[in-house]
Amino acid sequence: MLEMTTHIPATLSALSTYCRLPNLFRVTALRREPQVKGTLVTAHLYHASAALTVRWKCWFPDSRLVEGSLVRVLWKRFPDSLEGIIDISRLVVLELPERDENLFLTVPSDWVADRTLIARAVRLWDELPAVMQEAFNVLFWESGRFYRYCQAPSSMRGHHDTVSGNLRHSVDTAEAALSLSSLADGVHLGVLTLAALLHDAGKADEYRLSTSGKWQLTNRGNLLGHKITIVEWLAVAREKMRQGFPENQYLSLQHALTAVQGSSSWGGLRQAMTPEANILAAVDRASGQGDLMARHQSAEGGWGYAHPHLKCKPFSVEALGRNRMRGLEALQARIEARKNGSEPADHQASTAKGQRRTLSF
C-alpha cells in the first residue's frame, strides 16, 4: 500500500523539518478570501509522503493557481502554524515539466481510491529510463489530462468499464508485458513499459461522463480515436523534452502503440514488427478478455454469463470466493438494469462520485 502520507504537526519551528518535505505538491483544494488588505489564500496540498494545509496573503492572486496544479512551496524563514494551517510566503505554480518527479506520487485518493493500484503505477514509472520518465511527465504535467487519464474507463460497456478502469488495465498490461519480456530477445524494457502505460491513454479524451451518469464518446473519440490521440500527444511532447527522444526508441514506441494485426500496408497501418509491439498486443488482449471473463463467471463454477464482446460464455472449474460473489451479484444487477434500459441508482451515484473532484474544505 502507498498510504505513507505524513500529516505535518501543528508547529514548525525548525528549518530542517520542512526542508525534508517533497519538492512539489498537488493542490487538492483552494480557497481565496478577500481581506481589507489583499487576499488570504488557503490551499490543501498532497504528496504521497506528506499532506498539509498552507495559507498566505497576497495583493494579486495568481490566476494560474487552480485545484490540481503542481506547485512548490516558498517557505518563510520561521513558518508559524495555527490549528494545523502553516503560514508560508506563497506557492509557485510549476508550469514546466520536471523529469525526475514521479507524478503518481501526487495522485490523491479522491482521484483514485485504490492506493494499491497507485503504488503499482509508482513502481512502473520508477523503473523507466530517464528519457521515458520525462516523456511521461511532459505528456501528463497538465493536471486536467492526468486526472482524466487516472479516471477514464477502458471502454463504455466492455472490459474495465468503471472509473479508473483504464489505469488499472494499463498497469495490468505493463506488469504482464514485463513478465513476458524474457520470452523474446532484444526487448527494450523502457519502450515496452511506456507503451503499455500509454497504449490506451488517448481514452482520457475519448470518453466523457454524461449528465445521466453514463460514459459516452466525445467528438474526438468519434472522429479520431485514442490511437491517433496518443500519436498526436507524443509528437508534441517530444518537441518539449529537454534531453530529446532517441529516434529508434521513439519510432519503436510509436510502432508499438499503432501496430494493428491483420492490417494492410496500403491502408497506412502496419502489422507488429517489433518484440515490444507483439508482446503488447498479446497482453492487451489477455487483460481485456481476462477482465470480462472474470466478471462474467458463475459464482458456483461451470458456465457463466454471456457478453457481446465474448465469443462464448466463460467456463470456470471452481466456485468463486465470497468477495468475488458479492462483486458478481452487483455486476448481474447492472446487466439486468441495462437490459431494461436503466442503470442501478447506486451505480450511477458511485460513478458520478468517482468522476467529480470533490475538493472542498
Give per-residue pLDDT as tens, 45-63: 999 999 999 999 999 989 9
- For the entire predicted model, the pTM comes to 0.80
pLDDT, tens digit, 9 for 90 and up, residues 120-157: 999 999 999 999 999 999 999 999 999 999 988 866 67
More confident residue, 228 or 218: 228
Topology given in CATH for the domain delimited by 103-295: Hypothetical protein af1432 (1.10.3210)
Q: How confident is the model at residue 88, as a pLDDT?
A: 93
Q: How confident is the model at residue 346, as a pLDDT?
A: 46
pLDDT, tens digit, 9 for 90 and up, residues 231-252: 999 999 999 998 889 999 999 9
Average pLDDT, the chain: 82
Q: Answer yes or no: is pLDDT of 73 > 50.
A: yes
Beta-strand ranges (E) seen in the chain are 25-34, 39-47, 50-58, 70-74, 81-82, 85-87, 90-93, 207-209, 215-217, 302-303, 315-316
DSSP, collapsed to helix, strand or coil, labels residue 213 as: coil
Domain boundaries, the chain: 15-93, 103-295
Q: How confident is the model at residue 65, as a pLDDT?
A: 95
Q: How confident is the model at residue 316, as a pLDDT?
A: 78
Q: How confident is the model at residue 221, as a pLDDT?
A: 74
Poorest-confidence range of 39-53, 158-172, 249-263, 322-336?
Answer: 322-336
How is residue 211 annotated by DSSP? T
Question: What are 58-66's contacts with CB under 8 Å, separation 24+?
Answer: 58/90, 61/32, 62/90, 62/91, 62/93, 64/93, 64/95, 65/27, 65/30, 65/41, 65/91, 65/93, 66/27, 66/30, 66/143
Q: Answer yes or no: is pLDDT of 296 > 80.
A: no
Q: Answer yes or no: is pLDDT of 12 > 60.
A: no
Which band of pLDDT confidence, cut at 50, 70 and 90, is reported for residue 265?
low
Poorest-confidence range of 197-206, 286-295, 343-352?
Answer: 343-352
Q: How confident is the model at residue 334, as a pLDDT?
A: 59
